[in-house]
Chain A
Amino acid sequence: MNSGAKRYLLLALLAALIVSGFSAYFNRYYLGVAIDVGINIMLAVSLNLINGHTGQFSLGHAGFMAVGGYIAAKFSLLLQPALPPWMQPLIFCAGLLLGGAIAALTGLAVGVPTLRLYGDYLAIVTLGFGEIIRVIFQTSETFGAATGLTGIPNWTHFGWAWSGAAICVFVVTCLVNSTYGRGFIAVKDDEIAASASGINPVRYKVTAFVVGAFFAGVAGGLYAHHKSFLSPTGFDFMKSIDIVVMVILGGMGRTVGVIIAAILLTLLPEYLREFSDYRMILYALLIILIMIARPQGLFTFARRRPDSK
């Protein structure tokens, strides 16, 4: 898959840019939904690296998204008036990377002490972390406190969102399919056996956490420049749950399934707006049903098994 993966990445990037070039001809509403889909793919695939491939159940993904979103938005708001318009893409790109990097550092800071915890305990700590992040932004005057940030330049067009998604899918796929990345799966399957095979569980867990947090941060930056408006309530516990549902529905550790789930769970709420009050009830039922009937995820197909006879 070595050169194959690179080719897919180039094709995906090219497709994203071409579609983006014609975006003036599309209905603005649909285009907006398509950008949401791209951002959600990034969030779900990056969370899947942590929850699915490495088996560390995190409920704090919205927190990393918030860090990246606020940092990138603030960066743009500060620099945009000072610099000429042709520098916009540069500011945007730098802001996204900066947001991702700071989200990754946050991931490191949270990950190192907490990744000694297992299962439910880790879930609770990451949940608490997500809420702490939200409260910090909610009380910080610099980041607009409860009102949030407004007037963020509307720079996220289709090409940005889908290029981000393509790069995220590429990085996660490459990691998981490398000698390096098989450590993630070993850690998920059996931490004791992994360390008996020479794998340092802490290192792999922290790596998954940091890479996942980075892409969540970049996705947050794209989201901020898509909606032009950030409010702390947008990054609450429910947002984390939304992403977790995508991962569970798609199948933990199955990138293709998770992408399909991210697309479906972005489109469905759009078409079912009048029932939006019941969304969380529906999600809860969905998770229960999937866990009973198809714990491997809805969109998981039998693994291709080469003929071994």
Chain B
Amino acid sequence: MAPLLQLDQVTICFGGLTAVSAVDLRLGPRELVGLIGPNGAGKTTLFNLITGVYPPTRGAIYFDGRPTANLKAHQLVRRGIARTFQNIRLFASMTVFDTVRTAVQVHRTHGLRDALLRGGGFRRAEAEVERQVRELLALFQLDRVRDEPAVGLPYGDQRRLEIVRALATRPRLLLLDEPAAGMNPTEKSELTALIRLLQEKFQIAVLLVEHDMRVVMGICERIVVLDYGVKIADGPPAAVRANPRVIEAYLGEEAAPHA
């Protein structure tokens, strides 16, 4: 099958620092891949490259067979790449409902004219958007809090809302940046279930940056390891866990006996 996402020798330098160095990566449609590595290994930078926040210094990125160079972040969202952030970035003055509505509207932006004239077409489109929002909120159990301010939610719900907002743009590739960070064990197991659910239900590819090995090993079919911007391993969880370079760079010695 043709890869959904393809990175060819992607490199980015900030001044003298090479944050990501000649990384090759293939991601199939509906694949769930974990991206791990020590702090500063370039995981988030790789996300920023894929989502068009930075252009790569060298190398090329293809999404769905087409190069993504010169596309801005919001244009890539329309192509089908959505993401969450390591530090939650919700819209501070919006309710839960409006947060998701803002993302759902991406594929049906009206002009100024429609917003002012508010004809039948506009109202139907608006009603359709609202229906989709209700459906998403119900699916992810956020319908109870739909009129609460987004930033007033408990931490775990804020993380979940960020994922729902990303899903609302109807992506084919979802990038999750440390979704389990700061979560308690209950929230973590809920999150694991949620990632499985969304992958099953929406049939999308997921690239997951995560430090919690139980989450990563539990759900990922494949794991990619970065260290100092270089890809040092890429394979099924068992193989990666046994890889001596990965143990040295990231997992540490204790992980070895479990392998």
Contacts and interface: CB of A to CB of B under 8 A. Distances in A.
Nearest to B170: A198
Contacts of B85: 192-193, 196
A145 interface: no
A71 to B, nearest CB: 22
Given A179-B125, A180-B111, A197 B169 contact: yes
B232 interface: no
Contacts of A239: none
Contacts of B94: 182, 185-186, 189
Interface stretch (B11-19, B58-66, B143-151, B191-199): B143-151
Interface string B98-139: 100111011111111011101000110110010000000000
A305 B147 contact: yes
Given A174-B118, A179-B126, A180-B115, A197 B106 contact: yes
21 contacts: A3-B118, A174-B116, A175-B115, A178-B122, A179-B108, A189-B90, A190-B92, A192-B73, A192-B89, A193-B91, A194-B102, A195-B73, A196-B51, A196-B85, A197-B165, A199-B74, A200-B74, A305-B147, A306-B147, A308-B147, A308-B148
A183 interface: yes
Interface stretch (B2-10, B75-83, B201-209): B75-83
A182 B101 contact: yes
B115 A196 contact: no
A6 interface: yes
A211 B112 CA distance: 10
A153 interface: no
A2 B120 CA distance: 10
A186 B91 contact: yes
Given A174-B118, A198-B78, A179 B91 contact: no
Interface residues of B, number: 47
A227 interface: no
A128 interface: no
B106 A199 contact: yes
A189 B93 CA distance: 7
A31 interface: no
Nearest to B144: A308
B112 A180 contact: yes
Interface of B: 51, 53, 72-75, 77-78, 82-83, 85, 89-94, 98, 101-103, 105-112, 114-116, 118, 122-123, 125-126, 129, 144-148, 165-166, 168-169
B182 to A, nearest CB: 18
Contacts of B78: 198
Contacts of A60: none
A253 interface: yes
A252 to B, nearest CB: 10
Nearest to A189: B91
Nearest to B51: A196
A253 B103 CA distance: 21
Nearest to A210: B112
Interface residues of A, number: 34
Given A5-B118, A182-B98, 7 more contacts: A174-B116, A179-B105, A180-B105, A180-B109, A185-B94, A189-B93, A194-B74
A295 interface: no
A181 interface: yes
Interface in A159-184: 171, 174-175, 178-183
A56 interface: no
A207 interface: yes
A188 interface: yes
B83 A179 contact: no
A195 B51 CA distance: 10
A9 to B, nearest CB: 10
Nearest to B126: A179
Contacts of B122: 178
A178 B110 contact: yes
Contacts of A3: 118
Contacts of A186: 91, 94, 102
Contacts of B118: 2-3, 5-6, 174, 178
B130 to A, nearest CB: 10
Given A185-B93, A198-B169, A175 B116 contact: yes
Contacts of A198: 74, 77-78, 103, 106-107, 169
A14 B103 CA distance: 38
A195 B91 contact: no
Contacts of B129: 179
B146 A188 contact: no
Contact of A178 (B53, B103, B115, B165): B115
